């Protein structure tokens, strides 16, 4: 059976830049937040880096929300909303993760359908974390809400989502064929399909046959 591979530009430069800013700043915030809570001797240095990373996070979030409204293709907000036609892919993705990659990984064009709502939740949590961190020095208590405690809870939930995201992406790269990790650097994903089985209206790139690459 003949298969073909298409290398398709999915992620724009702006989207990759924003993803890098969000990823780097979030990891730095998690690490420095842990130092602020557990290492008083490094508090001053950690606080400076924490504030700097928070600025990068806020700028990245603002750019992401702008692209969600004014961007093109996968940059836009509606591409983060699961469609009814994707419900089967959502179930298949969940089974793939639960089986640690033994079940087949479904195909998708840009965002993993299962992770679409989780991305929206993560953006909301990051925005709430930035806001609570900003107001925390002036308002430790708002009504019955203890802001530092709420900020710490947000950090724990964000950390859990980030770890889950990293594990899922690594599993996809190991067991799948779309090169999802390198796609966030180059912008290109790989699509493998049977000859004649691709929607050329959606994926319009030069195809490469496995026979040409020496594959079987």
Q: If DSSP codes are grouped into helix, strand and coil, which group holds residue 116?
A: helix
pLDDT for 209 beyond 90: no
How confident is residue 179, by pLDDT bands cut at 50, 70 and 90?
A: confident
Mean pLDDT value across the chain:
84
pLDDT for 208 beyond 50: no
| Helix then strand then coil, % of the chain, to nearest 5 | 65, 10, 25
pLDDT at residue 20, as a whole number: 95
Q: If DSSP codes are grouped into helix, strand and coil, which group holds residue 197?
A: coil
What percent of the chain has pLDDT above 70?
88
Name all contacts of 195-202 with Cβ < 8 Å and 24+ positions apart. Answer: 195/2, 195/3, 195/4, 198/4, 198/6, 202/109
114 vs 89: CA distance, rounded Å: 8
Q: If DSSP codes are grouped into helix, strand and coil, which group holds residue 194?
A: strand
pLDDT for 3 beyond 70: no
Please spell the DSSP secondary structure of 64-77, one letter per residue.
HHHHHHH--GGGSG
102 vs 24: CA distance, rounded Å: 31
Q: Provide CB contacts within 8 A for 84, sequence distance 6+.
A: none
Token output for 81: 């909303």
178 vs 144 pLDDT, higher one: 144
Q: If DSSP codes are grouped into helix, strand and coil, which group holds residue 110?
A: coil
Q: What is the pLDDT of residues 98-115, one digit of tens each?
A: 998 889 888 888 888 999
pLDDT at residue 195, as a whole number: 58
- Which residues, listed in sequence order, are joined to residue 190 by a DSSP beta bridge? 7
Token output for 75: 């940059």
pLDDT at residue 199, as a whole number: 46
pLDDT at residue 55, as a whole number: 94
Residue that is written with structure tokens 């930035």 in the block:
130
- Best CA proximity match to 74, nearest among 11, 125, 148: 11
pLDDT at residue 201, as a whole number: 40
pTM here is 0.80
3 vs 19: CA distance, rounded Å: 32
Determine contact, residues 4/195, Cβ cutoff 8 Å.
Answer: yes
Determine contact, residues 158/30, Cβ cutoff 8 Å.
Answer: yes
Residue that is written with structure tokens 């959502």 in the block:
90
pLDDT at residue 193, as a whole number: 66
Mean pLDDT for the stretch of residues 74-79: 89
Centroid of chain to Cα 198: 26
Q: What is the pLDDT of residues 126-162, one digit of tens each?
A: 999 999 999 988 888 888 889 999 999 999 999 999 9
How confident is residue 82, by pLDDT bands cut at 50, 70 and 90?
A: confident
């Amino acid at each position: 059976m003949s298969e073909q591979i298409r290398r398709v530009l999915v992620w724009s430069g702006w989207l990759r830049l924003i993803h890098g800013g969000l990823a780097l700043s979030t990891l730095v915030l998690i690490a420095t937040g842990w130092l602020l809570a557990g290492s008083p001797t490094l508090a001053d240095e950690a606080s400076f880096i924490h504030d700097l990373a928070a600025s990068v996070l806020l700028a990245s979030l603002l750019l992401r929300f702008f692209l969600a409204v004014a961007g093109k293709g996968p940059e836009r907000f509606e591409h983060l909303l699961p469609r009814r036609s994707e419900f089967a892919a959502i179930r298949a993705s969940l089974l793939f993760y639960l089986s640690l990659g033994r079940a087949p990984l479904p195909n998708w064009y840009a965002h993993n359908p299962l992770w679409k709502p989780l991305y929206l939740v993560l953006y909301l949590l990051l925005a709430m974390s930035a806001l609570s961190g900003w107001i925390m020095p002036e308002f430790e208590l708002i009504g019955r809400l203890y802001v530092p405690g709420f900020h710490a809870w947000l950090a724990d939930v964000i950390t859990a989502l980030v770890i889950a995201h990293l594990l899922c992406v690594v599993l996809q790269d190991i067991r799948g064929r779309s090169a999802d990790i390198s796609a966030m650097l180059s912008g290109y994903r790989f699509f493998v399909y049977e000859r004649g089985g691709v929607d050329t209206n959606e994926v319009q790139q030069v195809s490469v046959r496995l026979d040409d690459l020496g594959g079987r």
